[in-house]
Chain A
Amino acid sequence: MRSGNVYIYIAAMAIVTYLVRTLPLTLVRREIKNVYIRSFLYYVPYVTLAVMTFPSIMDATNSQWSGLAALLVGLALAWKGASLFKVAVACCVTVYILEWIIL
């Protein structure tokens, strides 16, 4: 259960996110020179998105198997270079069809 005020949550998220995005555009206009910091920031999105995708995708659906199938379909299509929209829709359709068959 939620344990706090919705608007304080929204404010906390908005302030942190806005600062992350605007500080480099406004105050700190220099390029990051340090190769380790650059590398860390480069790797972060891919690691965090991979961590968040698996195994969560298997817990998001009614059946673990349809979630797993959506993962495989999404990975394959994204590998082939499909757009964000196509990958997202293909994952949804996969789950819908599979659950219609197995549930």
Chain B
Amino acid sequence: MGDSNATWFKRGLKAGLPIGLGYFAVAFALGIKARNAGFTAPQAALTSFLINASAGEAVAFDMIAAGAGYLEVAIMELVANARYLLMSFSLSQKLWPETGMLHRLVIGWYVTDEVFGVSISAPGYLNPWYTYGAIALACPGWACGTFLGVLMGNELPVSIVSALSVGLYGMFMATFVPPAKESRIVLGLVLISMAASFAFARLALFAGISSGIKTIILTVAISAAAAVLFPRREEVKEDA
């Protein structure tokens, strides 16, 4: 508690460095998707600066490229980013109760899986400046990576573009595999989700439904069924 804001900011920078590097590499693939949706480099960088969500942006760019409407994209964001609702609830408990509104509004802008991860594991109440330190490196990594992805996606050989395009999925796997290892329920859900997604993508019966809508339907249906069948009773208190 006694440490100054500057000390916490420096600690945040240290935690944010590997996040920024990872974001830069992954955002490049996002830029390629943005380009396919007809976004210029500044427009794509603006999207990344405002939305800060790998899955949310990737699926939105794909949907926009496929001609989806505004409402469809907005609903997709709600589903793809619903997890941040839970993270923000946890962070809200982690903040000193007297923390001002401005701090809350700034932190809310950058609740990502990784920034949440370092913020929630800081000792005691969270000093917002710790989170700001992490954001100070994560944010430029994410936005600049997206910007360069749009600019250079066309210049690079197809073999490089093909290789870079899976980086995003690597990031997804790094997020959903560790909890699947810890919980057999999550492992089962992941396998069912993949099988259902494969069926929806390949069976002619579902050919008329856009991939974004398929993602929404599958996510809501499988998660709701899991919540009813396997409600999580144990009290996991994440606040220190």
Residues of A within 8 A of B (CB): 1-4, 6-10, 12-18, 20-26, 28-29, 31-32, 35-57, 60-63, 66-67, 70-71, 74-75, 78-79, 81-85, 87-96, 99-100, 103
Contact = CB atoms under 8 A, between A and B. Distances in A.
Interface string B122-159: 00000000000000000000000000000000000011
A41 B18 contact: no
B108 A53 contact: no
A23 B170 contact: no
22 contacts: A2-B64, A9-B73, A10-B51, A12-B77, A17-B77, A17-B84, A18-B109, A21-B111, A22-B105, A42-B232, A43-B189, A46-B175, A47-B222, A48-B55, A51-B197, A52-B215, A54-B198, A61-B163, A83-B22, A87-B174, A92-B163, A99-B159
Majority-rule SS of A interface residues = helix
A71 to B, nearest CB: 7
Interface in B166-195: 166-181, 186, 189-190, 193-194
Given A6-B39, A54-B194, A40 B81 contact: no
Interface of B: 18, 21-22, 25-26, 37-39, 43, 46-47, 50-53, 55-60, 64-65, 67-71, 73-74, 77-89, 91-93, 95, 101, 104-105, 107-109, 111, 113-114, 158-160, 162-181, 186, 189-190, 193-194, 196-198, 201-202, 211, 214-215, 218-219, 222-224, 226-228, 230-233
A13 B163 contact: no
Nearest to B199: A55
B26 A20 contact: no
B215 A9 contact: no
Contacts of B173: 49, 53, 71, 74-75, 78, 87, 91
A21 B73 contact: no
Nearest to B33: A60
Contact of B170 (A37, A46, A56, A89): A89
A36 B166 CA distance: 34
B229 to A, nearest CB: 9
A2 B111 contact: no
A9 B37 CA distance: 11
